[in-house]
Amino acid sequence: MAYFWRIRHSHQKDSSGGEISPVQCVGRTPNSGSELVLSEDEKSDNEDKEETELGVMEDQRSIILHLISQLKLGMDLTKVVLPTFILEKRSLLEMYADFMAHPDLLLAITAGATPEERVICFVEYYLTAFHEGRKGALAKKPYNPIIGETFHCSWEVPKDRVKPKRTASRSPASCHEHPMADDPSKSYKLRFVAEQVSHHPPISCFYCECKEKRLCVNTHVWTKSKFMGMSVGVSMIGEGVLRLLEHGEEYVFTLPSAYARSILTIPWVELGGKVSINCAKTGYSATVIFHTKPFYGGKVHRVTAEVKHNPTNTIVCKAHGEWNGTLEFTYNNGETKVIDTTTLPVYPKKIRPLEKQGPMESRNLWREVTRYLRLGDIDAATEQKRHLEEKQRVEERKRENLRTPWKPKYFIQEGDGWVYFNPLWKAH
């Protein structure tokens, strides 16, 4: 307790005189020194977003066939080394940040006038979050984060774009538009930090907060993959909690599974499974079903949702459509709204350049693997990846010999979950 008291009361100022947020600090944590992540160092992200959408090459197909010949149906792939050419040029930790590409919708939740409006706003945000995180239909695999790896970024959201518009359609905007405020004082700041806290099982945590809106999200996810013949399934085990401190509300949510299909030809990805969103205080809950494509016929990427007020057993909203296309919402008053995810404005991450990143920050850690993948030198990328993973194994053996458990920088284990070390709901 003394440690946390010291963190919360040792406020520092940045060069502009503003207070440094806990999310900005690399180092004011159990395992580190005094290095700071200053938001003034962050620049708009200009990384290439799209993956090259090519089918599997003939030599690559033979490698996959050889790998498949050694696998059994239902086999856990967590410890199986997959070929480097299927990698996506970003870490899983950064992929979680890309789910936040519409922060205006997230921040608008707390502006909802009633509990019903707020839960519906959250469902709208949730359903629009996945398309940008996936980076197109091509099924490529993000880097498996190294234990201790972190990822930091932020978004600036113009205040005039954060409005709860339940039945009014949003102003048209191109998905290539990058909404930015000229004056930072006219923007809300949303900060994000992710960390790989465990290697076996592979557990990732992420936390984001907007102090001005008194809103934060804390999530822990354990990915478990299995072989399914011509597909690979990845379960996202764990949960997240959205907290709206202004209203004293907590929304507990789960995540869908992902499936890589047609792994020998042109691999593509789909989401599947039933997820839940629950707010115990208000009695509202939502069930969201990501429908996998039937074997014969049927549409891909379908999703349906239902929002219910449990004390009265009343359905207050239904939704259907495609999670990477058009979604239609119908409210219990008969009104409807359509959201086209392909035209929603995408807010670029703000991230520090590589030379200002620490050695365990995702882009810096994986920079050589990414460089060689961009050059198309798969052998060199594989060697760099092997070097990182071998270093992780050596350090893990050292800890086992010394019986020293790994101590994460930013997250603390509480029961079955993990919580950010200085969350908004505990801050003074």
CA 190 to chain centre: 14
- CA gap 154, 192 in Å, rounded: 6
Both tokens assigned to 97: 């940040």
Q: What is the pLDDT of residue 185?
A: 74
| Tens-binned pLDDT, residue by residue, of the chain (428 aa) | 322 222 233 334 443 334 444 444 444 444 443 344 555 677 777 665 544 444 445 555 555 554 555 556 666 656 655 555 566 788 999 999 988 889 999 999 999 999 999 999 999 999 999 887 655 555 577 888 999 999 999 999 999 888 765 534 444 444 445 565 556 678 999 999 999 999 888 999 999 999 999 999 999 999 887 776 777 788 889 999 999 999 999 999 999 988 877 766 667 788 889 999 999 999 999 999 999 887 777 788 899 999 999 999 999 999 999 998 999 999 998 999 999 998 998 898 999 999 999 999 999 999 999 999 889 888 899 899 999 999 998 999 999 899 898 999 999 999 989 999 999 998 75
- CA gap 118, 112 in Å, rounded: 5
**Spatial contact of 233 and 226, defined as CB atoms under 8 Å apart:** yes
Helices (H), 168-325: none
CA 331 to chain centre: 28
Both tokens assigned to 407: 């101590």
Q: What is the pLDDT of residue 285?
A: 97
pTM for the predicted model, two decimal places: 0.82
Residue 130: Cβ-neighbour burial (10 angstroms; 0-12, 13-18, 19+):
buried
Residue type, 117: E
Nearest by Cα to 37 from 207, 191, 206, 219: 191
Q: What is the pLDDT of residue 40?
A: 62
- Spell out the domain ranges in the chain: 43-161+186-268+345-402+409-420
Strands (E), 280-363: 284-291, 302-309, 314-322, 326-331, 336-340, 350-351
